[in-house]
Amino acid sequence: MNDLRTLLHDAVSDVEPELGLPEIQARTPAAPGRRWLPLLAAAAVLAVAAAGGGFWLTQEGTTHTPVATHGKPHPKPSGWFAYSPTPTPSTPGGAPPASRVSVAVYYLGHTPGGPRLYREFYGVDSADPVGLTAAARLAVIGNASDPDYTSLWPATTTIRSVRQSAASGLFEVRFTGTPPVTRPAGMTAAQARMSLQQLVYTVQGTAQDTAPLVFFAGNRQLHRVLGIRIGAVLERAPANDALAPVWIITPEQGQVVGRTFEVRGQAATFEANVQWELLAGRTVVLSDHASASECCRLSPYSFTVHAAPGSYTLVVHGEDASGQGRPVPQDTKQITVR
């Protein structure tokens, strides 16, 4: 598994964050639930999470097969990571065979600029060779591996299917039961808009296609979801408006690493400055800085850490250019150095 992760990281180290596939994170989310966005300070320290073993998540009810081509092709960013699922034996009773596929799932997290999107990867067993329905369901459930990430969709939200129309090329998201038309109590308009973008980025990132989304309750198209008016289609918002300004891509949440390990991520920070600390409890054990490849837009950064064995919180954040102690964007991961 470690060799596979290394190969995947090397294959996609230069892929842009909005839709690329830098690695597969094969973990099962916990039972469905909801967590509200935590308020993160620049020096927030999180409880160390136990490292979990990776395994495949089974998703049921995904019976459609996405088309290989469609009426209105949409652009694909360069650098796609081509993931070829390995078919599993046919299921009994004539059910479609399940394939093991990688899905990109986006979650909400708190930033100084408001709610923004972070991404995790999961391996799923799905009858859908792309895994669109499974990915969308994981997004609305909101049980991310990283406790800082969440979903604000109502607990009653159930996605029946996500498929790409052969006629229009659009992604059709179909709800079952009571569709989430109104905004739940306590959800702000900004959170509602970002929750919609959560589904857009999840579906497009998994499908590797930037086609817009349309929403349905049965066969009726919805023009209002979470209290937000939707036109004919829902387009993807620009990356700098939707994605969190600082991501840690590797190491993953709860990962066990060697005494020397590389940190990779994406950042959009002032003058491309990336600051980092390694904390044991509330004690800063190591700290330094690195640079992203570009200023002020999401671009790659990397640095190497040498640490003694132990449990740590890795914090990567931007710089307060004002010098007045203002909150800065950050991401954190709990890791274990063996």
CB 173 within 8 A of CB 216: yes
pTM (2 d.p.) = 0.74
Q: What pLDDT, on the 0 to 100 scale, is given for residue 330?
A: 97
Smallest CA-to-CA distance from 29 within 63, 56, 50, 5 is with 56
CA distances from 129 to 97, 113, 239, 260, 287 (A): 9, 36, 27, 37, 43
Inter-residue contact 252 to 145 (CB < 8 Å)? yes
pLDDT in tens, 165-223: 999 999 999 999 999 999 999 999 999 999 999 999 999 999 999 999 999 999 999 99
- Six-digit token string for 87: 């078919």
* CATH topology assigned to domain 246-337: Immunoglobulin-like (2.60.40)
Task: Please compute the mean of the pLDDT values over residues 74-90 and round it to a whole number.
Answer: 32
**Domains of the chain, residue spans:** 2-242, 246-337
Closest CA to 251 of 298, 317, 304: 304
Q: How confident is the model at residue 97 (pLDDT cuts 50, 70, 90)?
A: low
Closest CA to 138 of 250, 296, 26: 26
